[in-house]
Amino acid sequence: MTKFSEAYRYSAETIAVGSELLLGGRSDSNSLFIAERLAGIGIEVRFKTIVGDQESDIAAVLNQACRRAGLVVMTGGLGPTVDDCTREAVAAVTGRRLVRRKEAFEGMKTRLAQWGRTPNRAQLRQALVPTGAIVLSNPVGSAPGFALTWRGAQIVVLPGVPSEMGAMMEQSVIPLARARLEQSKGSGPQPVTRMVFHTWGLPEAEVDRQLQGLITTRTPVALGLLASPTGVLVSLTTRAERPAKGGILLRTAEGVRTRLREWLYAEGQETMEEVVGRLLVEQQCTIAVAESCTGGLISHRLTQVPGASAYVDRGAICYSNKAKTDMLGVPGSLIERHGAVSREVAQAMAKGMRERAGVSVALSVTGIAGPGGATETKPVGLVYVGLDGEAGKPITKEFRFHGDRSVIKQRSSQAALDLLRRWLLERRHV
């Protein structure tokens, strides 16, 4: 595996400001978005820093970032309250004064007027911008952002609200960064190209083993593996080229596909629920889901996809045994004989769901998510997944998952959706 060891003249850093990002309240998702968008136009984010609301700490981080990077994107700390001091820190580092800018104030006033409000005194602070900076209008919220150049580094400051930050990245930051790339044309960096593959069903060490030898020390492609409750993510990253037919990146990607074919369920940004949704639409299938231990997670995931109402008919969450009988017609005697967590009950749940809903295919899950509920023969993590389709034999599968309640729910939902995916693929080839 090769590391990119050249130095980039034009790399970026992100700085997320907010004490809540340091201590528990919230994780920083803005920086991930910014890095993805910048990578798409050939700018690599090499460092991300998170810092609290203390002005001197923000200033220290900004100072450091400007020495390393050509572009520094800051988010957060632009609100109307006194603990928002990003603009003060930027002014201090760059030696600029903060002045109220007409275009900043007007934009804010217009936005608030749309909501039937007028700026209050605290909000007036949000129109303060360092001298020499350009104002970046906020198409979603009231706080404007700004951009300035200092000692060769471009500093961009955006609000921390993800929807505002996202809109301003598209509207202002990407065009600014592109313009700068244009200026340095010829000597500018190649775009970073990254391909991502999502696998389910193999442990990380096994994925690693399957890929052994695919990349040699001379391949200018970096391979990354990342394990999570919903599977192992495989990434290929290169700066060597734009993806082109016959190129090394696409050849390596083909290698990943061949070696992991059996476990690969999606590429790029696509999620399992999107893949399944696409296949359901393609085959004009409808679906219903009967859930016990996953408690609604499978239906929730299926309905995250816009347009899901075209194929999701209904779902039943049968936590109690009585609900399994009432809603799905699972015989009480079957539950008594085999227990609610059993292959037989999973199968009866899927069958009952499909028949009652009149759909093409039904999924079912029953298991022990823990921490309570285990018996001598049935440990926490024992999960049965069932599928009943209008064609073909019914399927049930047994799993023994590790992890806490939340992880077991996640893994169970992934196992069920993957079973559906395989059934849909097979059906297509019949």
Restricted to residues 135-174, the positions that interact with its own copies (CB under 8 A) are 161, 163
**Residue 409 binds its own copies, judged by CB under 8 A:** yes
Distance CA 253, CA 214 (A): 10
Stretch that binds its own copies, among 79-87, 102-110, 239-247, 342-350 (CB under 8 A): 79-87
- In order, the DSSP letters of 178-235 are HHHHHHTTTTSPPPPEEEEEEE-SS-HHHHHHHTTTSS-TT-S-EEEEEEETTEEEEE
Region of 183-191, 217-225, 343-351, 381-389 interacting with its own copies (CB under 8 A): 217-225
Q: Whose CA is closest to 133, among 103, 177, 163?
A: 103
Largest CA distance in the chain: 79
Q: Judging by DSSP bridges, how do beta strands 153-158 and 193-199 pair with one another?
A: unpaired
Burial string for 62-87 (b: 16+ CB within 10 Å, else e) reads beebbeebbbbbbbbbbbeeeebbbb
Distance, in Å, from the CA atom of 23 to the CA atom of 50, rounded to the nearest integer, reads: 11
Beta strand pairing call for 361-367 and 231-238: unpaired
CB of 368 or CB of 387, closer to its own copies: 368
CB of 279 to its own copies, least distance (A): 18
Comparing CB distances to its own copies, the nearer of 135 and 316 is: 316
Q: Supply the minimum distance, in Å, between the C-beta of residue 305 and its own copies.
A: 8
User: Which of 224, 332 has the CB closer to its own copies?
Assistant: 224
Residues 237-266 binding its own copies (CB under 8 A) are 237
Residues 6-35 that bind its own copies (CB under 8 A): 18-29, 31-32, 35
Least separation in angstroms between residue 237's CB and its own copies is 7
60 vs 98, beta carbon nearer its own copies: 60
Nearer to its own copies, 61 or 133 (CB): 61
- Closest separation between CB of residue 167 and its own copies, Å? 12
The three-class DSSP label of residue 382 is strand
Q: How far is the CB of 16 from its own copies (least distance, A)?
A: 9
Tokens 């998170």 belong to residue: 50
Near its own copies by CB under 8 A: residue from 41, 47, 96, 329: 47
Taking residues 344 to 373 in sequence order and writing x for each that binds its own copies by CB under 8 A, - otherwise, the string is ------------xx-----------xxxxx
Residues 48-77 that bind its own copies (CB under 8 A): 48-57, 60-61, 64, 68
Query: How far apart, in whole angstroms, are the C-alpha atoms of residue 300 and residue 304?
Result: 6
Question: Quick one: 207 or 395, whose CB is closer to its own copies?
Answer: 207
Residue 26 vs 100, nearer CB to its own copies: 26
* Residues in 264-323 at the binding interface with its own copies, rule: CB under 8 A: 289, 291, 294-300, 302-304, 306-309, 312-320, 322-323
CB of 186 to its own copies, least distance (A): 25
For Cα atoms 128, 84, 143, give the angle at the middle one, nearest 5 degrees: 50
- Residue 325 CB: number of other CB atoms within 10 A? 18
Contact between 110 and its own copies by CB under 8 A: the answer reads: no
Exposed / middle / buried, residue 46 (Cβ in 10 Å: 0-12, 13-18, 19+): middle
Applying CB under 8 A, which of residues 225, 250, 334, 374 lies at the interface with its own copies? Answer: 225
- Which residue number, 177 or 297, has a Cβ lying nearer to its own copies? 297
Residue 333 token pair:
């005697």
Nearest approach in angstroms of CB 140 to its own copies is 10
Nearer to its own copies, 21 or 71 (CB): 21
Nearer to its own copies, 234 or 279 (CB): 234
Per-residue x/- marks for its own copies, 173-212, CB under 8 A? -------------------x-x-x--------x--x----
Q: Which of 155, 111, 106, 166 lies closest to 133 in space, CA to CA?
A: 155
Q: Closest distance between its own copies and the C-beta of residue 224, in Å?
A: 6
How large is the C-alpha radius of gyration of the chain?
26
- Determine which helix (DSSP H) or strand (DSSP E) holds 73, and give its type and residue range: strand 71-75
Query: Reduced to 3 states, what is the DSSP secondary structure of residue 13?
Result: strand
Distances (CA, A) of 83 to 6, 86, 186: 40, 9, 44
Answer yes or no whether residue 399 interacts with its own copies by CB under 8 A. no
